[in-house]
Every structure is written in structure tokens, then in C-alpha cells.
Amino acid sequence: MVLHVKVLAQGSVLANDESVTFEQLDQRLASLKKAEGTVLYYREFPTGTPHPNATRVIEIVIKNQLPISLATKPDFSDAVRPDGATRAKWVPGVPRLPGARTTARTRST
């Protein structure tokens, strides 16, 4: 299970493209924790000074002890690596370019 969280430049917080309060976000993240999910996080203008709400969102994610993947694109089609570089990744619902490889892993049963 994945929750897509965006913080817009003016401070609006969206969870799966729905505007949420911090209390609602905390409740969703608590449920996500129980489901052993992860957070995909995007902040508009990531090179600028973050809106205080962006810091608060990260604090709520930490409080709920959830894994998080940072994206620089609003469609979550990339991920920021620990060294600060980005890598493209496939996101369900986003068309792949012809010839693009998938990085999906399969589990053996």
C-alpha cells in the first residue's frame, strides 16, 4: 500500500490528490503503518525554502515510522537516491516510454 503525499508551494497538503488536514494525514499514516505501507513524497519547488507545512508533514511521517521515497516530479515518476541523484521509476497509471525497462520485482511463492 502506498500513499502519495504532496506539499504545494503555498503549503497545501494533498494525500492521493485530496486536500487533507494534519490530523487527517496523521490518521491515514497510522493506517498505512498498520498495512506496512510506504509514503511517496513530493514538494513543489524542492530547491527553495520549504513551507513550514512541508516540515510538519515529514515530522508526521517520522512519528508514524514509515518508509518514505522522495520524488522531484509531481507524478512520482522518479525517486531521489541517498546520494542526491534521481532515478526514473515506473508509477502505476503513468504510461511507459517505448523500450523502457521495468524494475518491478517478482516474488517466488
Per residue in 25-64, pLDDT tens?
999 999 999 999 999 999 999 888 999 999 999 999 999 9
Confidence class of residue 95 from pLDDT cuts 50, 70 and 90? low
Rounded Cα–Cα distance for residues 103 and 107 (Å): 13
Hey, where are the domains in the chain? 2-88
Average pLDDT rounded to a whole number, residues 12-32: 98
Reduce the DSSP state of residue 62 to 3 states and report it: helix
Rounded Cα–Cα distance for residues 57 and 28 (Å): 12
Whether 102 shows a pLDDT value over 50: the answer reads no
- Cell triple for 45: 519547488
pLDDT for res 47: 85
